[in-house]
């Protein structure tokens, strides 16, 4: 995916980090716990004992209320892995997380580092999409080695998402049902809603529209008016609109999606102004992408350029406004290029394709294109 010089440079950086980490993060003390919606982090020193509170979901360390934790002894290779994951550079992220996992520096508290690395490695394989078997194996490895990890709900959801991406929808439903049961047992309200959300998506792919609608309406009925779950409620409504798209009711779907975009506008503005979270920004990007798909589906029937233009405008919003969201941004670049092609503007289509390949070389969209330097093209050249 990268030139030989870049690969050598990345390898050298990893080697140096492993050697220098004891000096780089020695002397740090307080861990930072970022609660969802809070402006300032909680400064504490998490020990092997207090981590039990996080695993058990205590009042102070309930994992459902935690946006993220920045550990004081976080190795630089781990931090680099997180940053590369945020950028959608999954191959490089995996290498950094593996280096962090191997760290033998005495100041690193492995009780948090090992499960965290295993989780992110599994997530990278899932989001990369090129080796779903590895993703499943890594999630199961995490659960086997750390059965009480605070990453438990994420790992359970990840197993379902692996089955979903592999189009094994019955298997996905089984995993999401297990997450639902665990969420009820642990009183993990958010993860119960997320399980309903993914069950809705899965049932939609199985073309069981009534069951998909029933699943997402469990969210809209139970969580309506709760600002904590506003993004999940909006995503549930996006699935409802997608059901209308699949049924050919494009006008109704587009109206719903535009209403949702208008509804969450103020919350998106607050996130941008405060710079504390990206939940609603991600939801807005998903809404715009869904709107783009709605008009693309309609255009496939009408063959009208106006429908392709409407689709293009929706995708371009995400292209311009949500560049820090790799999955949504890559999707918008890919389908925005498709719209330009349909409008016979191949120059701009090529620009978007080039940006996609440059920024997200590990993206499934790039592999499908077989762009030179991608995993797909390397496999073809090897034949």
CA 250 → CA 100, 140, 241, 253, 339, distances in Å?
48, 40, 9, 5, 17
Q: Is 60 helix (H, G, I), strand (E, B) or coil?
A: coil
From edge to edge, which strands make up the β-sheet containing 31-35? 42-44, 31-35, 66-70
Q: Domains (ranges, CATH) in the chain?
A: 225-383 (1.25.40.10)
Q: How many C-beta neighbours within 10 Å does residue 226 have? A: 12
Yes or no: say if 18 and 103 are a contact pair by the CB < 8 Å rule. Answer: yes
Q: CA 68 to CA 5: how far, in whole Å?
A: 34
Distances (CA, A) of 10 to 3, 79, 138, 328: 11, 15, 23, 26
For the chain, how long is the longest CA-to-CA vector?
65
Residue holding tokens 């047992």? 185
How many CA atoms are closer than 13 Å to the CA of 183, on its beta-carbon side? 21
Tens of pLDDT along the chain (383 residues) come to 444 444 344 444 444 443 444 433 444 468 888 877 677 888 888 776 566 656 555 444 455 567 778 888 899 999 999 999 999 999 999 999 999 999 876 778 888 899 999 999 999 999 999 899 999 999 999 999 998 888 999 999 999 999 999 999 999 999 999 999 999 998 889 999 999 999 999 999 999 999 999 999 999 999 988 888 999 999 999 999 999 999 999 999 999 999 999 999 998 888 887 766 678 899 999 999 999 999 999 999 999 999 999 999 999 999 999 998 999 999 999 999 999 999 999 999 999 999 999 999 999 999 888 744 444 343 333 33
Q: What global pTM score does this model have? A: 0.81
34 DSSP β-pair partners: 68
Return d(Cα 73, Cα 352) in angstroms, integer.
Answer: 40
Count of CB atoms situated within 10 Å of the CB of 344: 9
């Amino acid at each position: 995916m990268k030139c030989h010089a870049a690969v050598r440079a990345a390898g050298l950086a990893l080697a140096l980090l492993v050697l220098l980490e004891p000096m780089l993060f020695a002397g740090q003390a307080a861990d930072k716990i970022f609660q969802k919606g809070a402006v300032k982090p909680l400064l504490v020193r998490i020990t092997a004992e207090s981590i039990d509170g996080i695993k058990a979901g205590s009042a102070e360390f309930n994992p459902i209320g935690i946006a993220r934790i920045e550990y004081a002894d976080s190795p630089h290779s781990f931090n680099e892995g997180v940053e590369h994951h945020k950028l959608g550079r999954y191959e490089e992220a995996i290498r950094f997380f593996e280096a962090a996992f191997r760290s033998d520096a005495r100041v690193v508290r492995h009780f948090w580092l090992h499960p965290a690395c295993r989780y992110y490695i599994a997530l990278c394989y899932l989001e990369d999409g090129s080796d779903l078997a590895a993703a499943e194996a890594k999630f199961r490895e995490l659960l086997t080695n750390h059965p009480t990890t605070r990453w438990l709900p994420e790992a359970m959801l990840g197993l379902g998402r692996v089955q979903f991406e592999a189009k094994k929808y019955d298997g996905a439903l089984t995993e999401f049902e297990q997450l639902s049961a665990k969420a009820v047992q642990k009183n993990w309200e958010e993860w119960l809603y997320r399980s309903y959300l993914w069950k809705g998506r899965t049932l939609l792919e199985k073309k069981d529209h009534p069951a998909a609608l029933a699943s997402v309406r469990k969210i809209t009925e139970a969580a309506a008016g709760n600002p904590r779950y506003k993004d999940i409620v909006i995503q549930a409504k996006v699935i409802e609109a997608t059901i209308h798209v699949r049924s050919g009711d494009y006008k109704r779907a587009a109206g719903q999606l535009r209403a949702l975009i208008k509804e969450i506008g103020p919350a998106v503005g607050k996130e941008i102004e405060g710079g504390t979270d990206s939940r609603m920004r991600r939801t807005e990007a998903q809404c715009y992408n869904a709107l783009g798909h709605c008009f693309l589906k309609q255009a496939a029937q009408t063959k009208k350029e106006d429908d392709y233009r409407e689709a293009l405008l929706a995708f371009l919003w995400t292209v311009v406004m949500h560049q820090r969201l790799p999955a949504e941004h890559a999707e918008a670049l890919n389908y925005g290029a498709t719209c330009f092609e349909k409008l016979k503007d191949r120059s701009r289509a090529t620009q978007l394709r080039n940006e996609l390949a440059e920024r997200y070389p590990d993206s499934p969209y790039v592999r499908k294109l077989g762009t030179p330097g991608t995993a797909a093209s390397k496999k073809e050249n090897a034949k």
